[in-house]
């Protein structure tokens, strides 16, 4: 019953229960070797539950345990062979021998620097973890003294009970005890800080400061590295701080965010020129670039949109532009443009949720564009972002715009996403984007970002580009960043804060 209670605090109850059963069976078979295997199995399983790197698991958990068992199996007879010594004292001596062996193993690890081989990951995240390992070593030392099946089983159980407690303390304290400043979002646990001399171990919590608009953030990483989970967490945190959050979901994978409002493009009411007549030039450019229109087609499209805008008292519905191009006299250019715009019309609506409603404080609206083709998605996203910009200008509020696979929507001269990075602060908007292709983002996007968060980048070109962007001309820093980027494990990331110029390594939540 007691073991079941402790197991319940773990993320995977089934895995830990099976591990407990196997450990118990091995320990019940008696013998120092089986007790060793039982403890080793549970320790290794606990390390995996933490997503601990293999090397860190070896140095932090397995090596001290191996040392303690190996030493006590040879030396336990020494205290018990002393005449006139009470049983309690001999047990204590046996436990101390085992603890000493663990401390010696840990000391050796730190002396040779093995704990720093994996980009500065510390062996123990808290004093409680160290204490628990030493305690279980002592219990194992006592149990191995006389090969008793009962005490051997209790030793395996002690390992099972102590390890989840230490893991719980280390893994939950950031979210339970950290109270970030208003607008601050805790995204992970610090592992180290990159400096010119190498990686310095650091503990604490990685926080993004969104207290003011314009703290634009770039999240980089391949599929499966953790960037989607991170952007979900940021969205939840910003909603709790009364941001209006709009998340453009390119793959249809974010509908599970609690309390979010899912929408399709057809459910949003958009105007092609929400910013006024001056927007017609840029909208014409966006459509022309997407469909690769020629100069004559562009000119005819611009004229048609201008006519519709003037006739509709400043409104520019897509349906009205199509009707204008379909009017007489018909020409081959008009017919080609009509065909292009009709392919867009099924994704644009003259009714539905207003853009102002999308920016409602404390709400997360997820726009699923996974059903759109590349060209249609590019045009829709650009027009949506323009509408958000002008809506925020008319009624200022704290707004976060999140765009996945942003490199698809930011190329070209006049894209709205590029404008958000350049001018978002004065609009009260913070942009958070993700990409798998760091080299495909324009340089001015990096220049106007406060935070760059990168998960593992195995592509040499991408890793070189990011390291050069972050290092600020320092060769030593470039080498350190470049090395770290290619060695990050799943869920680990590099964080650069432009304002503080800190380059951190963290394990994201």
Q: How far apart are CA 282 and CA 375, in angstroms?
A: 16
Distance CA 479, CA 198 (A): 9
Of residues 402 and 312, more confidently modeled = 402
Same domain, 41 and 117: yes
- Asked if the structure places residue 86 within a domain, the reply is yes
| DSSP H or E segment with residue 130 | helix 127-143
Tens of pLDDT, residue by residue over 146-183, are 555 555 555 555 554 444 443 443 333 333 333 344 55
Give the tens place of pLDDT for each residue, 114-124: 444 333 333 34
Do 90 and 115 reside in the same domain of the chain? yes
Number of domains composing the chain: 3
C-beta atoms surrounding 375 within 10 Å: 16
26 plus 50 within the same structural domain: yes
- Ranges 142-156, 162-176, 438-452, 475-489: which has the least confidence: 162-176
Tokens 């201008």 belong to which residue?
Answer: 306
Q: Point out the domain boundary residue: 305, 325, 345.
A: 345
Does one domain contain both 241 and 135?
A: no
pLDDT for residue 2:
30
Nearby residues of 459 by Cβ (< 8 Å), 6 or more positions away: none
Residues 137 and 195 in one domain: no
pLDDT above 70 (res 184): yes
Sign of the CA dihedral running 247, 253, 259, 265: positive
Q: Which of 149, 161, 158, 135 is nearest to 34 (CA)?
A: 149
What tens digit of pLDDT does each residue of 246-282 get?
999 998 888 778 789 999 999 999 888 888 888 899 8
- What value does the mean pLDDT take over residues 280-297? 92
Asked if residue 126 belongs to a domain, the reply is yes
CB 201 within 8 A of CB 504: no
**pLDDT on residue 74:** 60
pLDDT in tens, 233-242: 999 989 988 8
Q: According to the model, what pLDDT value does residue 18 have?
A: 54
Whether residue 434 is predicted with pLDDT greater than 90 in this model: the reply is yes
Assigned domain for 273 exists: no
Task: Assess if residue 254 is contained within a domain.
Answer: yes
- 30 in the same domain as 83: yes
Give me Rg for the CA atoms of the chain. 30
Single out the residue in 345, 366, 395 at which a domain terminates.
345
Percent of the chain with pLDDT over 90: 36
Q: Is the pLDDT of residue 223 over 60?
A: yes
What is the reported pLDDT for 361?
93
- Taking a C-beta distance cutoff of 8 angstroms, is the pair 450, 207 a contact? no
> Chain-wide mean pLDDT for the chain?
76
In a domain, 351, yes or no: no
Same domain, 235 and 299: no
**138 and 75 within one domain:** yes
Verify that 238 and 361 share a domain, yes or no. Answer: yes
Confidence band for 293, pLDDT divided at 50, 70 and 90: very high
Confidence of residue 75 (pLDDT cuts 50, 70, 90): low
Share of the chain above pLDDT 70, in %: 64
Quickly state the pLDDT bin for 30 (edges 50, 70, 90): very low
Q: Could you give the 3-state DSSP secondary structure of residue 396?
A: coil
Q: Render pLDDT for 77-102 as a digit per residue (tens, 0 to 9).
A: 565 566 666 767 776 776 776 667 66
Whether the predicted pLDDT of 388 surpasses 50: yes
**Domain membership of residue 327 as a residue range:** 279-345
Specify the CATH number for the domain of residue 231.
Answer: 3.40.50.300
Is the same domain home to 97 and 171? yes
Instruction: Give residue 10's pLDDT band: very low, low, confident or very high (50, 70, 90).
Output: very low
Give the mean pLDDT of 363-386: 93
What is residue 433's predicted lDDT score, i.e. its pLDDT? 96
pLDDT at res. 124 = 44
Same domain, 157 and 188: no
Cβ-count burial 184-216 (b if 16+ within 10 Å, e if not): bbbbbbbbbbbeeeebeebeebbbbbbeebbbb
Choosing from 345, 367, 387, the residue where a domain stops is 345
Look at residue 323 in the predicted model and tell me its pLDDT: 93
């Amino acid at each position: 019953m007691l073991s079941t209670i402790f197991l319940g605090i773990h993320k995977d109850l089934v895995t830990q229960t099976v591990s407990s059963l196997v450990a118990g069976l091995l320990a019940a078979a008696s013998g120092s070797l089986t007790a060793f295997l039982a403890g080793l199995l549970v320790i290794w399983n606990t390390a995996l539950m933490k997503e601990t790197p293999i090397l860190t698991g070896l140095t932090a958990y397995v090596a001290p345990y191996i040392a303690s068992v190996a030493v006590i199996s040879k030396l336990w007879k020494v205290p018990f062979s002393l005449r006139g010594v009470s049983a309690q004292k001999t047990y204590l001596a046996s436990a101390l021998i085992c603890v000493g062996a663990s401390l010696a193993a840990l000391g050796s690890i730190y002396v040779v620097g093995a704990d720093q081989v994996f980009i500065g990951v510390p062996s123990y995240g808290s004093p409680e973890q160290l204490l628990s390992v030493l305690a279980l070593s002592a219990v194992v030392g006592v149990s191995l003294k006389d090969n008793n099946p009962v005490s051997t089983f209790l030793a395996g159980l002690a390992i099972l009970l102590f390890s989840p407690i230490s893991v719980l303390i280390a893994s939950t304290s950031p979210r339970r005890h950290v109270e970030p400043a208003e607008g601050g979002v805790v995204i992970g646990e610090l592992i180290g800080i990159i400096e010119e001399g190498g990686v310095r171990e650091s503990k604490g919590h990685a926080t993004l400061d969104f207290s003011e608009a314009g703290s634009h953030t770039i999240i980089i990483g391949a599929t499966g590295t953790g960037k989607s989970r991170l952007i979900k967490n940021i969205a939840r945190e910003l909603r709790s701080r009364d941001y209006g959050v709009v998340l453009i979901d390119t793959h249809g994978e974010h509908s599970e965010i609690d309390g979010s409002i899912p929408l399709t493009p057809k459910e949003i009411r958009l105007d092609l020129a929400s910013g006024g007549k001056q927007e017609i030039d840029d909208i014409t450019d966006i459509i022309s670039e997407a469909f690769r229109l020629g100069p004559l087609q562009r000119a005819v499209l611009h004229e048609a949109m201008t006519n519709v805008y003037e006739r509709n008292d400043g409104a520019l519905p897509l349906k009205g532009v199509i009707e204008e191009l379909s009017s007489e006299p018909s020409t081959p250019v008009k017919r080609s443009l009509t065909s292009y715009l009709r392919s867009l019309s099924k994704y644009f609506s003259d009714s539905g949720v207003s853009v102002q409603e999308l920016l409602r404080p404390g709400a997360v609206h997820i726009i699923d564009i996974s059903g759109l083709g590349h060209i249609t998605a590019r045009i829709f996203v650009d027009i949506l972002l323009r509408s958000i910009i002008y809506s925020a200008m008319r009624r200022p509020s704290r707004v976060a715009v999140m765009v996945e696979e942003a490199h698809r929507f930011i190329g070209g001269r006049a894209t709205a996403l590029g404008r958000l990075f350049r001018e978002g602060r004065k609009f009260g908007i913070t942009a958070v984007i993700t990409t798998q292709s760091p080299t495909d983002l324009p340089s001015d996007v990096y220049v106007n970002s406060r935070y760059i968060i990168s998960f593992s980048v195995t592509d040499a070109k991408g890793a070189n580009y990011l390291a050069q962007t972050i290092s600020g001309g320092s060769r030593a820093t470039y080498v350190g960043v470049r090395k770290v980027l290619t060695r990050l494990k799943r869920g680990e990331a590099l964080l650069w804060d432009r304002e503080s110029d800190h380059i951190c390594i963290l394990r994201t939540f």
